[in-house]
Amino acid sequence: MTRALQGHPAVRDETRRKVEAAARRLDYRPDHIARALVTRTSSTVGMLIPSSVDSFWGEVAAGIEEAASEANYSVLFANSHSQPERERRMIEVFLAQRVAGIIIAGAAGESASWFCGEEPDVPVVIVNWDAAFPARFVPIVRTGSPQRVLKAVRAATETDASFSQIVFDDLGGAQQVVRHLVSLGHERIAFVGAEPIRPSLLRVLGFRSALLEAGLPLGAIVSSPRSPEGGFQATQDLLTSPPDDLPTAIVAYDDATAIGVIRAVHAHGIDVPGAMSVIGFDDIEMAAFSEPPLTTIRQPRREMGRMAMASILSSIRGESAQRSSVLPGELVLRRSTGPPPGR
């Protein structure tokens, strides 16, 4: 009987119709739970994001949910708050729920095996690996040979065969940003918001390499938490340099930091972008509404979510999907960048 409802080929039309009529009459709803029990896999995926309050992750989540919904999958959701222990715990819960796959966004765990012990029995995909590094990494990234640093960062977030990664091209994004500033004529460029997490290290690295490529000296690299307050404080410090050493442009780790940077620059009576260009990263919602609106690099957030879900689905179907995608950003020109003063 139940065959009739699933569109099994070997069921006469007449029978199917009768069954369907009866089903409707009793308003029968097939039980996903029972089905999952016998098929030993559910049509549910687990989604872990750092914080649903953050519209960045909210949009990644929206991409995941869209793609899942189109494929008739449901998504279980939890916030990790970027805490590796919480990540592990929620993954445990997902596994007990017999999810068909797990998407870890903004992964804070240190390595593949961190998440699921040895070999996870479901496909796992990571969207933007934000793993923390020991703080001693920051100075190394500032001074070490780029090749060595890159190798270290990559190695530390290496994915084993059972994992996929959908990550943003932090390194390339930072290069785009610097090239944009260089093309405007800037020669003294600082970086604000270095932190010992993977994307920050890669952005610093991209910053350095693009400067090198342009034949410009390495500007200041200031560490700070990634928040408006962090950017504000760090920039206050930066602006105490003697006037001749002051940069004419500041690359912020992300848009939130950039907003703090602009506030601090304004607080010193310096015009943006007249006397100081500021550029962000991510293109969060607020970027378009800051004063002045922020030039930034847009991450294809929704697309990243969709790709993550697509990767899960193809793993489920047994196609061994592309292990790792690095998505390029897009420079969004707004009004926080311009030529340096005196050009």
Report if residue 30 touches its own copies, rule: CB under 8 A.
Answer: yes
Sole window of 8-16, 51-59, 122-130, 153-161 interacting with its own copies (rule: CB under 8 A): 51-59
CA–CA separation, 55 and 39 (whole Å): 36
Q: How far is the CB of 116 from its own copies (least distance, A)?
A: 11
Q: How far is the CB of 222 from its own copies (least distance, A)?
A: 21
Report if residue 24 touches its own copies, rule: CB under 8 A.
Answer: no
Three-state secondary-structure class, residue 66: helix
Residues of this chain that interact with DNA (CB under 7 A) are: 1-4, 6, 9-12, 14-15, 28-31, 34-35, 37-40
Which of these, 143, 140, 109, lies nearest to 126 by C-alpha position?
Answer: 109
Sole window of 58-66, 123-131, 147-155, 324-332 interacting with its own copies (rule: CB under 8 A): 58-66
Q: Which does 3 bind (CB under 5 to 8 A by kind): its own copies, DNA, none?
A: DNA
CA–CA separation, 216 and 190 (whole Å): 12
Cis peptide before 120 (omega within 30 of 0): no
Q: Cβ of 53: how many Cβ atoms within 10 Å?
A: 9
Please enumerate in sequence order all residues whose Cβ is within 8 A of that of 7, keeping only pairs 6 or more positions apart, or say none. none
Q: How far is the CB of 15 from DNA (least distance, A)?
A: 3
Considering only 8, 18, 32, 148, the residue that binds its own copies (CB under 8 A) is 32
> What character string, x for contact with its own copies (CB under 8 A) and - otherwise, covers 308-327?
--------------------
Please enumerate in sequence order all residues whose Cβ is within 8 A of that of 198, keeping only pairs 6 or more positions apart, or say none. 129, 130, 131, 133, 153, 156, 157, 170
Site residues (CB under 8 A) for its own copies, limited to 162-201:
none
Nearer to its own copies, 24 or 343 (CB): 24
CA–CA separation, 262 and 278 (whole Å): 7
